[in-house]
Chain A
């Protein structure tokens, strides 16, 4: 009963620190490396890549990363769970297998592939069967934007990953699986937890939530006493040390920077939180109001007491659709009267857009250095009118591309025909950007069929 399972966070998002996974597998003992790659709109970017080239559609960085750490993984018997597969887990697994063969790891590695989350080809059938896939925020039925849908993926939970691990997978590559499922699955597998052990499911889910954003639980982006967090240049990413009873400790490797303490773990617990008593995942409903934290010693926080309730009969679906266009332009104004000059430029620009009879869904102005982060709350501060410089940042959004294109040509003229002391335009005209928006919905669990394939290298 003294068995301890160590799960290390390697990536908190696609684009996170490339050194982190290598440091996690070499810096001390771990059993699993967990890597979260998928943010809400990532799937649509991957879907676009796949439509241009059917061999793409996954987190490409994952391949050179695996190439670098595969020899260590094989030597130290460390397993990997990662949702790097995006909309093409099979191609991602094939690329990893090829990298492994290049390293002479034939016969030494099994890759588990989790699919079944991708609903794009089934959408019309599901709608015809009466699944409205209504927007969770607005209540609108998906029918309204059906012709503009780019991707649709159900969030799978821990269980298909558990299946892959039980079949002997060393590396599990998934599509849209919940961030927390990547941590919960190795715990279920290691401790043989039952599906209806709701407190255990909730504990593993909380563990996953704490480490899914990487260093945000070990000293990164931490507000309290931030100046006293040591050596962030050498920050240690968080590691879960879990016990069979569902309790666990958050630690990091020795001789790394950062800090693991109760205030820091608390900051991460409340991050992106809804109703704390009902943190809903495919695997359970976790109650964050039952979590007990205690500082065991330096850089070691114990988490216990987590209670859970039965999972719901729904899965969340992440749908991406084409929304319209936007562009953001900036100019910098200097002292004296920096803010007044930027405000005058904003008024002039808005008048010109009006005179051109351009129609926008939104025009949004910020004065960076004065109100971009705290809006009117910051404007009340005394110093606002004596700042050394202000960046005027103005953005527009429209359903059509033409007005957005025209807007991008109205910034530069202000340099010579607007208020004085203006600079900072070396970047040239702003670029119009297509908006791919996020449409969250629910679907009956029973219509989604997770699948697990094994690929022997």
Chain B
């Protein structure tokens, strides 16, 4: 069945210059393999189409049941240059949690 990431994961995001990072954390270790398999860098890049101008990188932290994404060109120049409300990428975390993935019963 299809579920929003919100149901099985939590997240925190922040900034480094014009790059936003999103740490995506499985609510339970049993969900971590689902994240690894389905929440790929390519899928995240499609999810944020129109919101970022650069590439997406993904790193795995199996010890924390977490994935870390770097969203390049996400912050309209970042820091003080940016005209965005979310100039420091604080809520890219919850934006990622809108993604829908397939979760077996």
Chain A residues packing against B (C-beta within 8 Å): 40-41, 136-137, 221, 223-224, 263, 266-277, 288-293, 323, 326, 328, 362, 364, 366, 368, 372-378, 393, 395-397, 435-438, 440
Contacts and interface: CB of A to CB of B under 8 A. Distances in A.
A397 B66 contact: no
Contacts of A268: 12
A267 B25 contact: yes
A263 B9 CA distance: 10
B83 interface: yes
Contact of A437 (B10, B27, B81, B94): B81
Contacts of B50: 375-376
Give the 9 A-B residue pairs with the shortest CB-CB distance, closest first.
Answer: A270-B23, A395-B83, A272-B14, A364-B83, A224-B10, A267-B12, A374-B95, A372-B85, A375-B51
* Listed residue (B62, B63, B93, B98) with the most chain A CB atoms within 10 angstroms of its CB: B63
* Listed residue (A267, A277, A326) with the most chain B CB atoms within 10 angstroms of its CB: A267
Contacts of A378: 95
Chain A contact residues: helix, strand, loop or mixed: mixed
Contacts of A437: 77, 79-81
A368 B86 CA distance: 11
A277 B59 contact: yes
A291 B62 CA distance: 10
Nearest to B11: A223
Given A41-B80, A272-B15, A328-B83, A224 B68 contact: no
A274 B72 CA distance: 11
B22 to A, nearest CB: 8
Interface in B41-75: 47-51, 59-66, 68, 70
Contacts, number: 129
Nearest to A224: B10
Contacts of B70: 274
A266 B81 contact: no
A377 B98 contact: yes
Chain B contact residues: helix, strand, loop or mixed: mixed
**Interface band, chain B:** 35 or more
B91 A291 contact: no
B80 A435 contact: yes
Contact of B63 (A136, A291, A373, A397): A291
Contacts of A364: 76, 83-84
A323 B80 CA distance: 9
A435 B81 contact: yes
B104 to A, nearest CB: 23
Given A266-B66, A269-B64, A289-B61, A326 B10 contact: no
20 contacts: A41-B79, A137-B18, A223-B10, A266-B65, A266-B66, A270-B25, A270-B66, A271-B12, A271-B21, A272-B21, A273-B21, A273-B68, A275-B59, A364-B84, A373-B85, A374-B94, A374-B95, A375-B95, A395-B83, A397-B81
Given A267-B10, A273-B23, A437-B80, 7 more contacts: A41-B79, A223-B94, A224-B25, A267-B25, A268-B12, A272-B16, A395-B83
B21 A224 contact: no
Contact of A267 (B23, B49, B84, B98): B23
A266 B64 contact: yes
